[in-house]
């Protein structure tokens, strides 16, 4: 009987208990907690690469049983058959030996700071509730148990007036109480540490959240003798953020760090692991399909797949293998995952000089650019283009060319890793056109100008938009630039639907194909025919090119 595809299961012990397929990454526990001596490690990877499962695996392996310290029967059951149990010395020293605080900050977000604070306070309450036995600890003083019990008062924490300072101190306090009770410095695992800051930067309360999170994490991480080891995960390095000021023992392991292959392949699926998963579910004949759509990421020197994509592909198709009338299909599983608002952060600020670079990416080519390895979320408001490329690199929209030899510091050759992400690019850009109010206003003015014959209005609309927004070609790779603008105008007109009764692209009419044609919804019998022309030479007479377009419309009888 095949093991389940554990879609949606992010905790190691739940994955094992449900008899779900697990790619054995347990060797990464030894890499982090034995091979590396840094007290604090930050591992950055894009969304959906298994960061939460990785942290849960650490937690399940290291956590002691408070009711029976020294009992590792849970670990022996959960980790049966995994490679880590073969290392008897490491297991004897580390398995089930530590109090472990494991929290995720991925839910700490909101449209405003008040909502986000409530989520953080709720996370703190849940964190303390897991250690209720401390309230009756014989190893703690009455003042210390009093400190602990205040965190079990949820209404106290949820009110910023009473609970704000307690929330800021909560990690530091819990580390101290656990160390006193167990006599062992705890392990601290913080998943998606940067989500609260990222959401705050996006929604306009960055400074308030940074002031909160920097104290919340800083007190726990900086020069704290009550802390044994700490591992954090997130998308960005954010080394300039004040959270990490003064942390001299921080080991950063990002997608561009090439120090150690064992770190690079610790989160995500290697090509060998992916082939094994596909073979297990009878999909080995579709390895090329999976590679074309889900491969292409480079972490350090190691090519990697996104686990979410691979397992989703298997889940969607393994029942169809070998069954008549059933088809194995390649889906886009990444598009609707979290973190896909990064493009909108910059879409309105891309300079004309950068438009061709973004278009080159969509056409499957590489771009050469400088990035900001220590990008700070607060810097995003400056809308610098190198921060845009950095954001796309660290969030999984782009990857770095391993063979590229830079000529200057922090220079990289970047490209879209696979067809799934290319499709995400197209979709997000077109969605931006459809939902952007500036585009909508210009679309109405543009349509009105076309139907009324107001060439000045049409020209002014186009000039403003072409200088600000990138478009997308709706033809094949390496299509001519004429198609670039075809896609742009086609996307623009979608926003003018109140004035347009009918719109067609590449429509057969007369003796040829019209680039674009729209029919007015208000003006009877009025249509606008658009024949697009482009010139690579700015010195060429544009009026002459325009006349040729008009002659083509007449000669080919497009109006018929």
The answer, yes or no, to whether residue 439 has pLDDT greater than 80, is: no
Q: How far apart are CA 400 and CA 299, in angstroms?
A: 8
The answer, yes or no, to whether residue 537 has pLDDT greater than 90, is: no
Residue 481 CA neighbour count, 13 Å, CB half: 8
Tokens of 381: 């408001």
CA dihedral sign of residues 216, 217, 222, 223: positive
Start and end residues for every CATH 1.10.10 domain found in the chain: 342-428
Q: Which residue has the higher pLDDT, 465 or 12?
A: 12
Instruction: Give 378's DSSP letter.
Output: G
Backbone angles phi, psi at 9, to 5 degrees: -90, 115
Calculate mean pLDDT across residues 81-90.
97
The pLDDT, as a whole number, for residue 473 is 40
The answer, yes or no, to whether residue 239 has pLDDT greater than 60, is: no
pLDDT band at 482 (very low <50, low <70, confident <90, very high): low
305 close to 272: Cβ distance less than 8 angstroms: no
The pLDDT, as a whole number, for residue 474 is 38
| Among 168, 169, 183, CA closest to 228 | 183
Q: Which residue has the higher pLDDT, 492 or 330?
A: 330
The pLDDT, as a whole number, for residue 463 is 77
CA dihedral sign of residues 157, 161, 164, 169: negative
The pLDDT, as a whole number, for residue 560 is 59
Burial class from Cβ neighbours inside 10 Å (0-12, 13-18, 19+) for residue 11 reads middle
The pLDDT, as a whole number, for residue 211 is 92
Whole-number average pLDDT of the chain: 86
CA distances from 275 to 10, 185, 247, 295, 533 (A): 22, 40, 40, 11, 47
| Among 59, 57, 52, 60, CA closest to 10 | 52
For 5, the 3-state DSSP assignment is coil
The answer, yes or no, to whether residue 497 has pLDDT greater than 80, is: no
pLDDT band at 432 (very low <50, low <70, confident <90, very high): low
Q: How far apart are CA 380 and CA 382, in angstroms?
A: 5
Q: Which residue has the higher pLDDT, 334 or 72?
A: 72
> Please, what CATH class does the domain formed by 342-428 belong to?
mainly alpha
- Cα three-residue angle 507-510-514, rounded to 5 degrees: 30
Tokens of 294: 């889900």
Angle between helices 142-150 and 160-182 (to 10 degrees): 130
The pLDDT, as a whole number, for residue 505 is 75
Tokens of 549: 């377009």
Total count of residues recorded for the chain: 560
Q: What percent of the chain has pLDDT over 90?
A: 52
Q: Which residue has the higher pLDDT, 408 or 175?
A: 175
Of the listed ranges 130-144, 286-300, 313-327, 532-546, the least confidently predicted one is 532-546
| Number of Cβ atoms within 10 Å of the Cβ of 258 | 14
The pLDDT, as a whole number, for residue 438 is 66
| Number of Cβ atoms within 10 Å of the Cβ of 78 | 16
The answer, yes or no, to whether residue 42 has pLDDT greater than 60, is: yes
181 close to 138: Cβ distance less than 8 angstroms: no
pLDDT band at 472 (very low <50, low <70, confident <90, very high): very low
The answer, yes or no, to whether residue 412 has pLDDT greater than 50, is: yes
Q: How far apart are CA 480 and CA 206, in angstroms?
A: 42
Tokens of 74: 């849970």
Q: How far apart are CA 464 and CA 220, in angstroms?
A: 50
Q: Which residue has the higher pLDDT, 336 or 265?
A: 265
Q: How far apart are CA 498 and CA 520, in angstroms?
A: 9
Q: How far apart are CA 351 and CA 386, in angstroms?
A: 12
The pLDDT, as a whole number, for residue 446 is 85
The answer, yes or no, to whether residue 417 has pLDDT greater than 80, is: yes
Calculate mean pLDDT across residues 398-404.
91
Calculate mean pLDDT across residues 224-240.
86
pLDDT tens readout for residues 120-134: 999 999 999 999 999
pLDDT tens readout for residues 163-217: 999 999 999 999 999 999 999 999 999 999 999 998 898 888 999 999 999 999 9
Calculate mean pLDDT across residues 235-240.
68
The pLDDT, as a whole number, for residue 348 is 59
Q: Is the pTM of this model over 0.85?
A: no
């Amino acid at each position: 009987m095949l093991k389940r595809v554990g879609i949606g299961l992010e905790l190691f012990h739940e994955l094992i208990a449900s008899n779900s397929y697990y790619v054995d990454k347990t060797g990464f526990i030894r890499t982090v907690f034995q091979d590396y001596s840094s007290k604090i490690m930050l591992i950055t990877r894009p969304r959906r690469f298994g960061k939460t499962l990785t942290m849960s695996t650490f937690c399940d392996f290291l956590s002691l049983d408070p009711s029976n310290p020294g009992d590792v029967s849970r670990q022996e059951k959960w980790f049966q058959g995994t490679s880590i149990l073969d290392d008897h010395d490491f297991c004897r020293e580390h398995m089930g030996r530590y109090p472990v605080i494991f929290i995720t900050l991925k839910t700490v977000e909101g449209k405003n700071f008040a909502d986000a604070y409530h989520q953080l306070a709720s996370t703190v309450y849940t964190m303390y509730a897991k250690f209720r036995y401390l309230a009756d600890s014989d190893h703690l003083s009455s003042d210390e148990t009093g400190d602990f019990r205040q965190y079990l008062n949820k209404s106290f924490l949820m009110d910023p007036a009473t609970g704000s300072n307690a929330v800021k101190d909560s990690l530091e306090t819990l580390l101290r109480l656990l160390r006193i009770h167990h006599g062992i410095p705890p392990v601290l695992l913080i998943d998606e540490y940067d989500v609260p800051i990222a959401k705050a930067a996006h929604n306009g309360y960055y400074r308030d959240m940074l002031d909160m999170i920097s104290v919340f994490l800083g007190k726990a991480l900086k020069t704290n003798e009550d802390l044994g080891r700490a591992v954090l995960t997130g998308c960005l390095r954010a080394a300039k953020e004040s959270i990490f000021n003064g942390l001299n023992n921080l080991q950063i392991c990002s997608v561009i760090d090439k120090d150690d292959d064992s770190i690079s392949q610790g989160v995500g699926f290697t090509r060998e692991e992916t082939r094994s998963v596909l073979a297990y579910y009878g999909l080995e004949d579709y390895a090329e399909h999976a590679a074309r759509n889900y491969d292409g990421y480079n972490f350090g020197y190691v090519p990697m797949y996104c686990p979410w994509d691979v397992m989703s592909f298997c889940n969607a198709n393994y029942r169809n293998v070998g069954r008549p009338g059933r088809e194995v299909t390649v889906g886009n599983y990444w598009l609707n995952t979290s973190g896909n608002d990064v493009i909108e952060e910059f879409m309105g600020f891309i300079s004309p000089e950068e438009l061709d670079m973004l278009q080159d990416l969509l056409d499957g080519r590489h771009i050469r650019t400088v990035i900001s390895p220590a990008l700070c979320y607060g810097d995003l408001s400056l809308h610098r283009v190198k921060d845009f490329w950095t954001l796309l690199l660290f969030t999984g929209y782009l990857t770095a060319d391993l063979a590229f030899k830079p000529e200057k510091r922090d220079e990289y050759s970047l490209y879209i890793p696979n067809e799934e992400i290319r499709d995400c690019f197209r979709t997000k850009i077109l969605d931006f056109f459809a939902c952007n109010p500036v585009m909508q206003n210009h679309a109405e003015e543009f349509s009105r100008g076309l139907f009324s014959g107001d060439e000045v209005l049409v020209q002014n609309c186009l000039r403003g938009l072409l200088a600000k927004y990138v478009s997308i070609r709706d033809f094949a790779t390496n299509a001519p630039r004429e198609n670039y603008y075809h896609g742009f105008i086609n996307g623009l007109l979608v926003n003018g639907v109140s004035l347009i009764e009918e719109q067609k692209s590449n429509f057969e009419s007369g003796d040829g194909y019209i680039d674009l044609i729209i029919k007015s919804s208000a003006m009877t019998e009025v249509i606008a025919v658009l024949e697009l022309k482009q010139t690579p030479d700015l010195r060429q007479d544009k009026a002459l090119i325009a006349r040729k377009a008009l002659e083509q419309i007449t000669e080919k009888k497009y109006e018929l």
